[in-house]
Amino acid sequence: MSEVLKSKAVNGWRLFWLVTAPISAAMLIAMMGKDLSSAESVSSMIQLSVRCAVPLLYVTFAASSVQTLFRGPLGGWLFRNRKYFGLCFAAAMGWQLFFILWLTTVHSDYYINEVYVLRDAIEGVVGYTFLIAMTVTSFAFTRRRMKPKTWRLLHLSGIYFLWAYAFSVYWWALFYYKNPLLLDYIYYWSGFLAWALRVAAWNKKRRKIAEKSVPRSTTQPVFNLAGMLIIGVGLVAASFGKAWYDTAANLMTGYAITRIPETYLPYWPFQPWLPLFIIALGALLTTRART
């Protein structure tokens, strides 16, 4: 496998075209099979294009963590081609943007009456602003004109915002809307896994630093146990969102003070990520005493 992953055919720009060409062909074939004079058909092309994009987003999001956790040919290949997976995602989202512009211009009545929600539009525009900025700054010509810190901040906050967008869409599909598809479960849990790999890699790095710098503490087993229990609670909450969604919504919305965030703030009040915050807290505790 390591020889295959080192070959030119699956690295760099060849990898980009190996992924983007079939996706673009699938879009063109799907367009030929549809009556795109109907808004629903254009909307279904938005769905198809973004369903091709999301796995590439998750791979880009988790690539460096796979390398940290599982040193080897696969981790190395993912890490080496992070930029190209990101550009593959951007290319697939380029198709989504094409159909979004088609829907909002040619079928604007449908968009306004059936799709438009101010906060969703704000989320979407912020998402595309990040995506366009990350794409433009993925090239040496633009990157070297930025401070490394600014570049890193842009790409870190951008990839988290875009991952949060996709993850939340599938959280709502599973725990709020009716009749979720098998694909919704796969995309929800693979989005969760991509995030969990980042937490595990972060945890591994913290442990390594602690082992080098802090003497073993007697309270560590207690913090470990507490941390594991809290992670367990978070996992249960991430699996059964329906059970606590209403309570969380009632607790965190409907007040005068929350009116502005409810109308404008992307992702407010963050229900899909509440279990992840709990899991991150548990992970923090498992390295707490040592630091």
Among 51, 71, 144, 205, binds ligand HEM (CB under 6 A): 51
Give yes or no for residue 55 binding ligand HEM (CB under 6 A): no
Site of tokens 């030929």? 32
- Cα–Cα distances (Å) from 112 to 47, 116, 260, in that order, read 18, 5, 21
CA dihedral (9, 12, 18, 23) in degrees, to 10, reads 170
Q: Do the beta carbons of residue 27 and residue 139 sit within 8 Å?
A: no
- Least distance (Å) from ligand HEM to the CB of residue 150? 22
Contact region with ligand HEM (CB under 6 A), list: 123-131, 140-148, 222-230, 273-281? 123-131
Question: What mask of x and - would describe binding to ligand HEM in positions 161 to 180, judged by CB under 6 A?
Answer: -x--xx--x-----------
Residue from 146, 245, 192, 175 nearest 54 by CA = 192
The residue among 52 and 283 lying less far from ligand HEM, judged by its C-beta, is 52
Distance CA 111, CA 39 (A): 8
Contact region with ligand HEM (CB under 6 A), list: 47-55, 191-199, 224-232, 253-261? 47-55
Among 43, 135, 286, 287, binds ligand HEM (CB under 6 A): 43
Contact region with ligand HEM (CB under 6 A), list: 13-21, 148-156, 158-166, 220-228? 158-166
The residue among 16 and 61 lying less far from ligand HEM, judged by its C-beta, is 61
Q: Do the beta carbons of residue 64 and residue 80 sit within 8 Å?
A: no
- Least distance (Å) from ligand HEM to the CB of residue 162? 5
DSSP assignment string, 22-77 = HHHHHHHHHHHTS-TTSHHHHHHHHHHHHHHHHHHHHHHHHHHHHHHHSTTHHHHH
- Least distance (Å) from ligand HEM to the CB of residue 239? 20
Distance CA 40, CA 232 (A): 41
Contact region with ligand HEM (CB under 6 A), list: 31-39, 65-73, 79-87, 124-132? 124-132
**By beta-carbon distance, which residue lies closest to ligand HEM?**
124
The two structure tokens encoding residue 187: 């995309």
Judged by the rule CB under 6 A, the positions of this chain that interact with ligand HEM are: 43-44, 46-47, 50-51, 54, 100, 115, 121, 124-125, 127-128, 162, 165-166, 169
